[in-house]
Amino acid sequence: MALLVSLLSSLAAAQDYAREDRWKSEVVGNLVVGDAVQIAGASGRPFLGLYTQGEQGRPAVLLVHGIGVHPDHGIIGSLRMRLADMGFSTLSIQMPVLAADAQSADYYPALFPEASERIRAGNAWLASRRHSKVVLASHSLGSWMAQYHLEKEKPAFAAWISMGRSGPVAPLPLPVLDVYGEKDNPAVLKTVQSRRGARQVMIPGADHFYAGKEDELARLLCEFIETVP
């Protein structure tokens, strides 16, 4: 019985590649800004990235989305275009997804190692394009994935921007910006004090998805990135 329960649990947390392929078809078919690229993961299975070239010599931003969506969704889709308009090259990558009814708790630890591999591969892809300074920017569950990666490996990023993350931020040897909205999710707001080790900015009036505050958020990120050594 215990073996059966374990097997069913592992199947429930199986990565949904079919859903990922559906996202890919939808995103690439409707892409207006940037180029769709295929990035080779450590597992040998390529995944989707959306790359927009910025001004030569300026930092690049690797963008990591939240639970169960795609690299052009919501605030991440907005930021990849707005930051490119500000001169930064952006690469938004497809993170591992589960079935549509999965909860955040189902993603950890099942998909976090694959998420870490994709963050590493995205950074390497940018490095191969001669982007020597790369800032990691993540939203919601993507920020949990980003922290998992940064804790497991010696950080290869110039800085990390964490948006809408609940829980504490572990001490890391790189500049960290913790951004949250005044009307963010309760779990985010309840744990603000636990993230005091990072530089923190609260965006007045913003919810978890920064609806209507996209320009303000992009300007904030731009100002932070400009200060990164």
The whole model's pTM is what?
A: 0.93
Q: Which of 100, 14, 88 is nearest to 53 (CA)?
A: 88
DSSP-assigned beta bridge partners for residue 176: 160
The identity of residue 158, as a single letter, is A
> What is d(CA 90, CA 34) in angstroms, rounded to the nearest whole number?
9
CB-CB contact of 49 with 39 (8 Å): yes
From first to last of its 229 residues, the chain has per-residue pLDDT tens of: 343 333 333 433 689 999 999 999 999 999 999 999 999 987 788 999 999 999 999 999 999 999 999 999 999 999 999 999 999 999 999 999 999 999 999 999 999 999 999 999 999 999 999 998 999 999 999 999 999 999 998 889 999 999 999 999 888 999 999 999 999 999 999 999 999 989 999 999 999 999 999 999 999 999 999 999 9
Q: Helix 112-128 vs helix 141-152: angle between axes, to the nearest 10 degrees?
A: 80
- The domain tally of the chain equals 1
From 113, 144, 149, select the one nearest 134 (Cα to Cα): 149
What is the predicted pLDDT for the residue at 12?
39
| Strands (E) located in 22-105 | 35-40, 46-52, 60-64, 89-93
Write out the residue range of the structural domain in which residue 133 sits.
Answer: 2-227
Of 188, 147, 152, nearest to 170 by C-alpha is 147
The CATH number of whichever domain residue 101 belongs to comes to 3.40.50.1820
Residue written as tokens 């907005």? 78
Give pLDDT, residue 13.
61
Tell me how crowded residue 80 is: count the other CB atoms within 10 A of its CB.
25
Sheet holding 199-207, edge to edge: 35-40, 46-52, 89-93, 60-64, 134-139, 159-163, 176-183, 199-207
- Look at residue 42 in the predicted model and tell me its pLDDT: 77
Left if phi > 0, otherwise alpha if psi is -120 to 50, otherwise beta: which for 52? beta
The predicted pLDDT at position 7 comes to 35
Report pLDDT for 14: 83
